[in-house]
Amino acid sequence: MSTSINGVDYGPLFQLLGKWWGDRGLDLSPEPDGEDKNAYYDEIEFTPAGAAENAEEQNLVCVQYRQVVRKRKNGKIFHDQIGHWMFEPSTGLLMHSLSIPRGVCVLAGGAISDEGAGQRFKVQATAGDETFGVVQSPFMVEKAKTTAFSMSLLVDGDELSYREVTSLDIYGRAFEHVDEATLQRIVYD
């Protein structure tokens, strides 16, 4: 199977391309008096973003995405995220950038590994790290500070599953906000 589009070889990122949908998401989020569990619908669309060159030395391939998450109980959007997955073929470096409209941006780094018939994408970031870190607005630092982020995503054919952990300092305590979901590819890009 070719992993190229318009002369750009996307390598392992090629398998992300398309539109994915799932109704088996579970969100464990912080509340002032404890935690809240929300079942959700999840939609992610990955599209080719092309190749990128940095300082005439580093060559990357990139896909962009948008993720929209709706509560199953009422269909309301409670999470909207955009970003990129980037891969450096010469080193195997995997990067994931994301932005959410609450004043938080993350650049996480990691690698891809084979797992059964699929491939696992694993990245992490830590607040204060110069390379793979978290940037957030003054309000978020004061009220709901993200201290770390990790994501493990498994693609196996037309099934994608992920576990995302956002470590927070919120409501006067440390909390791990966890999102887990399984999606099916419904449209190839």
**Dmax (CA) of the chain:** 53
pTM metric for this prediction: 0.94
Q: Residue 123 corresponds to which tokens in the numbers above?
A: 């990245």
Phi, psi of 131, deg, nearest 5: -105, -60
- Is the confidence at residue 182, as pLDDT, over 80? yes
Question: Given this model, what pLDDT does residue 30 score?
Answer: 86
CA 129 from centroid of its chain's CA atoms: 18
Question: Given this model, what pLDDT does residue 2 score?
Answer: 77
Report pLDDT digits (tens) over 7-47.
899 999 999 999 999 999 999 998 888 888 999 999 999 99
State which H helix or E strand residue 55 sits in.
none
Average pLDDT over residues 91-113: 97
Question: Given this model, what pLDDT does residue 4 score?
Answer: 87
Report pLDDT digits (tens) over 76-86.
998 999 999 99
Question: Given this model, what pLDDT does residue 34 score?
Answer: 80
Residue 73, CA distances (Å) to 11, 27, 30, 43, 84 in order: 38, 13, 18, 16, 29
Question: Given this model, what pLDDT does residue 1 score?
Answer: 65
DSSP for residue 14: G
Phi, psi of 154, deg, nearest 5: -115, 125
pLDDT band at 97 (very low <50, low <70, confident <90, very high): very high
Report pLDDT digits (tens) over 123-135.
999 999 999 999 9
Q: What is the CATH number of domain 4-187?
A: 2.40.128.20
> Considering only CA atoms, which of 21, 34, 31, 37 is closest in space to residue 71?
37
